[in-house]
Structure 1
Amino acid sequence: MLDVRRMQMLAAVVDCGSVTAAAARLGYTPSAVSQQVAALEKETGTDLLERVGRGVRPTAAGLLLTRHAEAIAREVAEAETALADLLAGRTGRLSVRYFATAGAALVAPAVARLRAEHPGVQVELRLADPDPLPDVREGRADLALVVGPVEHDGVRLLHLLDDPYLAVLPKGHPLAARRMLRLTDLADEPWVGSEWPGPCLDAQLTACEAAGFRPRFVVDSEDYVTAQGFVAAGLGVSLIPRLGLGGRHPEVVVRPVRSPEPTRAIHAAVRETAPPQPALRAFVEALREAAAG
């Protein structure tokens, strides 16, 4: 294998026209440069320079290696620039898993901010499977938005916001006249389910248990828009998180709930052992800004 450093010295000699001038440019003694060129000639098995008066000029083989040395120098410079951009967060690629209601409220504005501040960073977005944490732990995703708390070895949770559940009632419901409800006000009502089994439903059930009752579900819709439709039709009441109320049905009213307030905690999950990634750090900051807004 040819020694790249020796090729660079050969290129300097060819460019300067003499060993002495090349040595002055490189900061070596002429003897050291001559020794390295001679070693390269031994490696290649051919002459690379020929004397012309007080200077030298390349042979055909020397000219060929000089051109390759210059190409290598350009590629190294490009690699250094690309690495500097990556380490500064100006470039990179992020793979993100998210769930639907967090997509519009958190992910969309965060991606928009990241593109404005770091246009060279590419973001791959994918709706999360029921459990995206294995993808994060095993490096298939850089970040996932999850409802927690959840425990998963190798994954670190960064709290973004607490998303409160709001009571959704038919417009003509007797409780609709109140500006705020206690959770126990809904204890004897028929309930329209809005969540799949999992941490979001658990947040509702835990709050209800703390209030001393278990809700009586008469419809399982597992979808916020559909749940509002059932509520509007008078089939029951529902709890829907604030982020899930982007499109509100015209025949329902929404009221805050207290004592206790059902809340789901939304986190960004990242791999504990992931090396520092400026692009990922910038995206997390953008998510936090979106959450604060």
Structure 2
Amino acid sequence: MDVAFLGNLLLVVDTGSMAEAARRVGVTPAAIAQQMQALERELGVTLFVRAGRTVIPTEAGHRVIERARGLVADFADLKANALEGEAAGELRIGTITTALLSLLPDTLANFAHAFPRAKVLIRAGTSMELYDTLQRGDLDAAICLHPPFALPKAYDWHLLREEPLVVLAPARLAKADPHELLRREPFIRYDRSLGGGKQADQYLRAARIVPHELFELNALMAIAMMVDRGLGVSLVPDIVSPMTAALSVARLPLPVPTEARRFGVVWQRASPRWRLIRGLLECADDAVASSAVTAKKKR
């Protein structure tokens, strides 16, 4: 039995779709379907039933999935132990979209240079999705926001950046009063279901500002581009990304200080891939420092 097939079985379960599982591992949906059929033939049971575009595990499938998680994790640990002392192995990283479009490319460039024999698998998701996946043992580290609760002792956290709320406005409004802009200009809201969006909403309520809301979306890069196009202003965490560096956008600090959004890396303390995780942390720190210097020069 191919352990990789079991790993893809878990991915099908976690995403609810063979097509999505195929997209994440870079193969065709037909290839994933063939792997699932091979597992069913070998095990002698039906693992899934289809419900529209999604797949639902059968009772036998649930039993197999429960054991498969342990087998996949044990194999990964075995591989890591076999490579102990070597700058090699597989590192499974989860990341929020903001990091994927800002910090991660430079971090991975540094990491690939420092660990040329390491293989990196990347999964995107929200911070809470990534934390849940880390708890299941399907990730080695997650680049995300600090959870809104105390981390269990089995986990460790490394802060990369603190991102206070700022008003994003077209560059021509750089000298305007931030609160006046939020009251007067069309408003592009950051999704209130996300941590940064909730924080922005709380600030607006506390300041008794009722903006003229036109849009609400969950993509910070897209919001910055919309501001650049003159569609309005926004209240968002102060991110740094090469994708926004060329935009004609001003970042205006708020007159009332706010708690910064904490952005970093979380992992299990006892991870057998600690050497690669430590290398990832060092590369991420270097990328953050470099982006901070570049951003300072451009402001």
TM-score range, shorter chain: 0.5 to 0.7
Post-superposition offset of 1:243 = 2.6
SS across alignment from 1:114: helix
Query: Structure 1: how far apart are the matches of 2:89 and 2:114?
Result: 13
d(CA) in 1 for partners of 2:276, 2:84: 9
1:259 aligned counterpart, secondary structure: coil
Structure 1 partner of 2:31 = none
Q: 1:137 aligns with which of 135, 138, 145?
A: 135
Query: Does structure 1 retain, via aligned residues, the 8 Å contact 2:221–2:243?
Result: no
Cα gap change, 1:218 to 1:95, in 2 (>3 Å): same
**Do structure 1's residue 110 and structure 2's residue 107 form an aligned pair?**
yes
Q: CA deviation at 1:290?
A: 1.4
Shift of 1:264: 2.2
Task: Check the 8 A contact 1:101/1:243 in 2, yes or no.
Answer: no
Q: Secondary structure of the residue that 1:247 maps to in structure 2?
A: coil
The residue type equivalent to 1:148 in the other structure is H
The alignment yields a C-alpha RMSD, in angstroms, of: 3.2
Cα deviation, 1:135-174, whole Å, max 9, x if unaligned, reads 11121001111123433545433211113444332466xx
- The answer to whether the aligner puts 1:150 opposite 2:148 as a matched pair is yes
Match of 1:280 among 277, 280, 286: 277
Structure 2 unaligned residues grouped into runs of 5+: 1-78, 291-299
One-letter identity of the residue aligned with 1:256: L
CA separation of 1:140 and 1:245: change in aligned 2, threshold 3 A: same
Within 5 A, what are the aligned runs for 1:81-100? 86-100=83-97
Q: Does 1:247 align with 2:260?
A: no
**Residue deviations 1:34-93, cap 9 Å, x none?**
xxxxxxxxxxxxxxxxxxxxxxxxxxxxxxxxxxxxxxxxxxxxxxxx989833351121
Aligned to 1:150, the other structure's residue is in SS state coil
- Structure 2 residue identity aligned to 1:86: L
Structure possessing the higher radius of gyration over alpha carbons: 1
Judge conservation of contact 1:89–1:118 (CA < 8 Å) in 2: no
Contact kept in structure 2, 1:183 and 1:261, CA below 8 Å: no
Flag the 1:273–1:150 CA change in 2: closer, same or farther, 3 A: farther
Q: Answer whether contact 2:162 2:261 (CA < 8 A) is retained.
A: yes
The alignment's TM-score, normalised by the length of structure 1, stands at 0.58
Q: Partners in 2 of 1:167 and 1:283 — Cα distance?
A: 32
Instruction: For 1:63-74, list aligned pairs within 5 A.
Output: none
Q: 1:93 to 1:228 in 2, by over 3 A?
A: closer
C-alpha change, 1:289 and 1:182, in structure 2 (3 Å) is: farther
- Matching residue's letter, 1:260: V
Query: In the alignment, which of 272, 286, 294 is matched to residue 289 of structure 1?
Result: 286
- Unaligned stretches of 5+ in structure 1? 1-81
Please name the residue that 2:33 is paired with.
none
2:256 to 257, 260, 266: 260
The equivalent position to 1:218 in structure 2, one of 214, 217, 222, is 214
Conservation of the 8 A alpha-carbon contact between 1:211 and 1:259: no
- Does structure 2 retain, via aligned residues, the 8 Å contact 1:165–1:256? no
Contact 2:161–2:263 (CA under 8 A) maintained in structure 1: yes
- Aligned partner of 2:195: which letter? P
> What is the aligned residue count?
206
What code does the residue aligned with 1:188 have? Answer: R
Tell me the distance in 2 between the aligned counterparts of 1:155 and 1:84: 20
Whether 1:188 and 2:183 are equivalent positions in the alignment is: yes
Contact 1:193–1:238 (Cα < 8 Å) also in 2: yes
1:170-215 per-residue CA deviation (whole Å, 9 max, x = no partner) reads 466xxx151xx65433442341113362112123234445545455
- Mapped pair 1:205 → 2:207: no
CA distance in 2, matches of 1:261, 1:235: 26
For residues 232-255 of structure 1, what are the alpha-carbon distances to aligned partners after superposition, in whole Å with 9 as ceiling and x for unaligned? 5655311343335723686x5313
